[in-house]
Amino acid sequence: MIGKRGIGIALSSLTLVAASVGWTPVAQAGSTPAGTAEARTAEARTAQARTAQAPDARADITHARTARDHFTQDCTGQENITYGPGLSLSSDASKVTVDGAYHCTDASGRSTTAKYHTEGTTGGTCLLLSWNRSEETLHYADGGTSVIAYHSGPSLRVLGLNTARLTGVVVAGRGKGSVAEKTIQTVPGSLPTDCVLADGIRHTTAFTHLSIHP
């Protein structure tokens, strides 16, 4: 039989064991939330950084769309056209280089000027010019630029005037994404007679009208 003293010793031992067992999990449990809290804090900071960046990205997209949707411009001008090789009665392709100037007015009535340079090709003859693809770069007086890519357009010759209509898109710069429509009216001169010369027509002058809109 175990005496009262033995029972007391046994109970004391159990109490010590229980105390030590209970103490260890408490210490471990205390360390786990601390680590979790730090991780959550880091995640929260990352989320805040992403949230701060997101409005900027959305603002850039919105600004680009707004610039395109509100960019309306009407321009008139005059240009000097150079053909190489010169245009003749045949329909061989010829490289076209154009330099000109526009006087433009936007939707608010504000006026500006722009110089432009165009490079493209024509598959027409000296009697009926036919523009194919071309790219035109406008340099505005305030330092801005617009780059327009034109597709092929129809040409008509009425009462000695050769008129070409081009349709394109603003692919870079001011008004990017807007539609561009250009009319080129070649000034009559010695076109009929120069057609039969060896060099053909190498230079012409034209009046132009450009419309840019959403």
Contact 180, 167 (CB under 8 A): yes
Residue 103 confidence (pLDDT): 98
> Quick check: helix, strand or coil at residue 17?
helix
Contact 77, 101 (CB under 8 A): yes
Residue 124 confidence (pLDDT): 72
Question: Residue 147 has which token pair?
Answer: 């780059």
Kindly state the DSSP code that residue 175 receives in the 8-state scheme: T
Residue 88 confidence (pLDDT): 82
CA atoms of 98 and 77, how far apart (whole Å) = 12
Question: Residue 94 has which token pair?
Answer: 């010829």
Name the nearest CA neighbour of 183 among 167, 201, 169: 167
Name the nearest CA neighbour of 75 among 204, 184, 214: 184
Give pLDDT tens digits for 178-213: 999 999 998 765 556 777 777 888 888 999 999 999
| b/e 94-126 (16+ beta carbons within 10 angstroms → b) | bebebebbbebebeeeeeeebebebebebebbb
C-alpha 161: how far from its chain's center?
36
Residue 110 confidence (pLDDT): 94
Question: Residue 124 has which token pair?
Answer: 């027409």
Give pLDDT tens digits for 94-152: 899 999 999 999 999 999 999 999 998 887 777 777 777 899 999 999 999 999 999 87
Residue 35 confidence (pLDDT): 55
Name the nearest CA neighbour of 206 among 157, 162, 165: 162
Give pLDDT tens digits for 75-91: 999 999 998 888 888 76
Q: Where are the beta strands (DSSP E) in the chain?
A: 73-87, 94-106, 111-122, 131-140, 145-150, 155-158, 161-173, 179-186, 201-213
Angle at 137 between CA 133 and CA 141, to 5 degrees: 155
Higher pLDDT, 14 or 154: 154
Higher pLDDT, 165 or 29: 165
